């Protein structure tokens, strides 16, 4: 499996067709996901590792981890409809080393090696991403997480409080279509950072 093949396989995954604004659900571009996954794979954070996909949506991060040889994956989402799409995507693949969890992230309590996530940005509910980060820091040693680039100071402080180092921040452009009623443009693009956090 190379990066190009990974991106092609991820593009075949069924997307979510409805989105819950209260949960700040946004689809993550397959090319961005494959970039993050390949980076994690190259850093030995996927192969033979126990991985969690927080706020998994259609399961694109976790499925990518399975394709890259993860030992097992927890797919977690509090939205049952999103988890049903994730389940359907997994049924179309030949994996049995995963578990689906329909729960709030704060209730997750499994030790894992790596967490992959695109959490809420905290636009609708201020600091909604904080509970995702804190749970990830409690149960994993490595985190790959997407946040608005303006979150630098907040994440730096949180990492310091929980004994994590910021390995790196990869700046990318995040693109979404017109998926909510309050959107006035057909396409939006804004700067995000992919934070790579490691326990000290």
Dump pLDDT digits (tens) for 54-86. 999 999 999 999 999 999 999 999 999 999 999
What's the pLDDT score for residue 179?
A: 60
Nearest to 200 by CA among 158, 167, 177, 174: 167
Distance (Å, whole) CA 5 – CA 19: 28
Nearest to 101 by CA among 86, 120, 118: 86
Read off the tokens for 183. 């959107």
Mean pLDDT of the chain: 89
Confidence of residue 110 (pLDDT cuts 50, 70, 90): very high
What's the pLDDT score for residue 21?
A: 61
Every domain of the chain and the residues it spans: 3-199
Write the CATH number of the domain with boundaries 3-199: 3.40.50.150
| Average of per-residue pLDDT across 17-29 | 66
Dump pLDDT digits (tens) for 127-169. 678 999 999 999 999 999 999 899 999 999 999 999 999 999 9
Burial class of 196 by CB neighbour count within 10 A (0 to 12, 13 to 18, 19+) = buried
Confidence of residue 117 (pLDDT cuts 50, 70, 90): very high
């Amino acid at each position: 499996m190379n990066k190009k093949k990974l991106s092609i396989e991820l593009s075949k995954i069924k997307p979510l067709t409805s989105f819950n604004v209260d949960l700040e659900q946004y689809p993550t571009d397959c090319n961005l996901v494959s970039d993050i996954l390949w980076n994690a794979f190259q850093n030995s954070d996927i192969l033979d590792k126990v991985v969690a996909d927080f706020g998994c949506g259609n399961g694109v991060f976790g499925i990518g981890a399975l394709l890259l040889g993860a030992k097992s994956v927890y797919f977690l989402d509090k939205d049952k409809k999103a988890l049903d799409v994730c389940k359907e995507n997994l049924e179309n693949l030949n994996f049995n080393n995963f578990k689906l969890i329909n729960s709030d992230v704060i209730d997750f309590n499994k030790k894992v090696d790596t967490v992959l996530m695109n959490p809420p940005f905290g636009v609708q509910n201020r600091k909604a991403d904080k509970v995702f980060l804190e749970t990830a820091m409690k149960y994993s040693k490595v985190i790959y997480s997407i946040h608005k680039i303006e979150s630098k100071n907040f994440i730096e402080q949180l990492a310091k409080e929980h004994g994590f180092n910021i390995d790196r921040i990869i700046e990318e452009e995040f693109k979404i279509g017109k998926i909510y009623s309050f959107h006035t443009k057909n396409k939006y693009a804004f700067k995000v950072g992919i934070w790579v956090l490691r326990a000290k």
